[in-house]
């Protein structure tokens, strides 16, 4: 289980849309989904997702590997629109 983050996403994009896009990839099971308003930008929010990766899905393994080696991926959700996804770290793990 690990956490991923979409650091900046438009507030008009509903939670269900994001969850459906991730579930359609079959990369794992979403355990927790949190929307956080951006402090200085009321038109955007941050998404934190705790996911249990599907170890049998090559796409999931590729995403995990890319996140570990490059630090981010771009997930196209509606051509040409994409979300930047990064690993999520808690502030307690950063110290």
Q: What does the pLDDT read at residue 60?
A: 96
- How confident is residue 1, by pLDDT bands cut at 50, 70 and 90? confident
All domains of the chain in start order, with CATH: 2-94 (3.30.70)
Spatial distance between the Cα atoms of 73 and 5, rounded to a whole number of angstroms:
11
Read off the pTM.
0.89
Q: What does the pLDDT read at residue 93?
A: 47
Model confidence pLDDT, tens digit, residues 38-90: 999 999 999 999 999 999 999 999 999 999 999 999 999 999 999 999 999 86
- How confident is residue 94, by pLDDT bands cut at 50, 70 and 90? very low
The candidate with the shortest Cα–Cα distance to 37, out of 7, 16, 17, is 7
């Amino acid at each position: 289980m690990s956490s991923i983050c979409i650091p900046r996403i438009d507030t008009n994009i509903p939670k269900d849309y994001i969850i459906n896009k991730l579930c359609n990839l079959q990369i794992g099971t979403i355990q927790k989904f949190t929307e956080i308003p951006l402090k200085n930008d009321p038109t955007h929010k941050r998404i934190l997702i705790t996911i249990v990766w599907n170890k049998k899905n090559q796409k999931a393994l590729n995403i995990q590997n890319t996140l570990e080696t490059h630090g981010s991926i771009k997930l196209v959700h509606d051509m040409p629109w994409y979300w930047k996804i990064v690993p999520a770290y808690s502030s307690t793990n950063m110290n």
